[in-house]
Amino acid sequence: MKQGRLAIRVAGLSASLAGALALHGAWRSGRRASPWPRRFLARVARIAGARARIVGQPLTRDVMFVANHQSWLDIPLLAGATGTSFVAKAELARTPLVGWLCGLNRTLFIERADRLGIADQVQAIRDALARGQPLAIFPEGTTGDGRALLPFKPALFAALDPAPPGIRVQPVRIDYGPAMADLAWPDGEHGQTNAARVLRRPGRFTATLTFCPPFDPADHPGRKAIAAAARRRIADAAPRDCDTPQPRSC
C-alpha cells in the first residue's frame, strides 16, 4: 500500500511538473512574469498531503522572510503562500533536477565554506532584496525535529546591516502539528530517503504558517541583534499562542 501511494504521488508530481513547465515557457516567451514556479511548488505540498493554514498577513515585496526549518516541505509551502525565492547552499544547485528547479524559482545559491567570498554573498543578497523580490532564509542552517527551535546563525543577517531602504524582516513559524514526527528531516537522513518516507505517509495534514508582524531591522543594530529578534518572535509564535487563523501579534 505504501509503495502504491508513493508511485501515485510521484506520478502526480511528474504530471504537475510537465504542465507547469509548459505554461512557464509560454509565459516567459511572452516576456511576462511567470506565476508557475509558485503554483507548482504549492501543488507539490498538496500532493504530499499538506493543507496550508495561514495565520497573519505575509508581505508581498521588500521583505526577508525568516523561518524555522523542519522539512523539505517548508520550501514549497512557504513559496506557495508568498511567491518567495530562497537563499540556499550551493550544493543544492549541483543536485540533478532539484538544482534546476530551484533556479526557476530564482534561488540564490551561496558557498557556505567560501570564507573569502562572504562579502560577495552578502552583496548578492542585498541586491536581490533591493529588486523587491521576497527572499526567505532558514537561519537554523539545518532541519530540526520540530520539538525545539535551534540557534540562529547570524551570518546571513549581515545583508541587513544596514538593510536596503524599505526592507522589512517578517518572521514565520512553520508548524506541522501531530504530523511533525513523520515529516521531520533528521540530521544524517539522505534526502531521497526522507522524500520517499514523506510521500508514503497516508492521509492529509495541516501545516500552519504563522506570519508574525514584520519589523524594521534598523531597530536592532547588528546582525546578531536582528537574528535574536527574529528568533524570539518565532519562538513566541508557538501553536498554543496562535491557535486561530486570525492575524495577531507574535
C-beta of residue 142 within 8 angstroms of C-beta of residue 70: no
191 φ/ψ sector (left φ>0, alpha ψ -120 to 50, else beta): alpha
Torsions phi, psi of 22, nearest 5? -60, -45
pTM over 0.85: yes
In angstroms, rounded to a whole number, what is the distance separating the alpha carbons of residues 178 and 208? 12
Which residues are bridge partners to 86 per DSSP? Answer: 136
* Residue 36 pLDDT: 84
Residues whose CB falls within 8 Å of the CB of residue 26, separated by 6 or more in sequence, listed in order: none
* Residue 240 pLDDT: 57
Q: What three-state secondary structure class fits 85?
A: strand
pLDDT per position as a tens digit, 189-220:
888 888 888 999 999 999 999 999 999 999 99
C-beta of residue 238 within 8 angstroms of C-beta of residue 205: no
In angstroms, rounded to a whole number, what is the distance separating the alpha carbons of residues 224 and 205? 35
* Residue 114 pLDDT: 61
pLDDT per position as a tens digit, 125-148:
888 888 888 999 999 988 877 778
Domain ranges for the chain: 1-237
How far is Cα of residue 244 from the mean position of the Cα atoms in its chain? 22
9 to 41, 62, 71, 191, 205: CA distances (angstroms) = 14, 35, 17, 17, 15
Triad 31, 33, 37: Cα angle to 5° = 125
Tens place of pLDDT per residue across the chain (250 aa): 667 888 999 899 899 989 988 988 888 888 777 888 889 999 999 999 999 999 999 999 999 999 999 999 999 999 999 999 998 777 776 776 677 777 777 888 877 666 545 777 888 888 888 888 899 999 998 887 777 899 998 988 999 988 888 999 999 999 999 999 889 888 778 888 888 889 999 999 999 999 999 999 999 989 999 999 999 999 999 865 444 443 333 4
* Residue 247 pLDDT: 36
The residue assigned the cell 549541483 is 94
**Closest of 51, 40, 52 to residue 14, by C-alpha:** 40
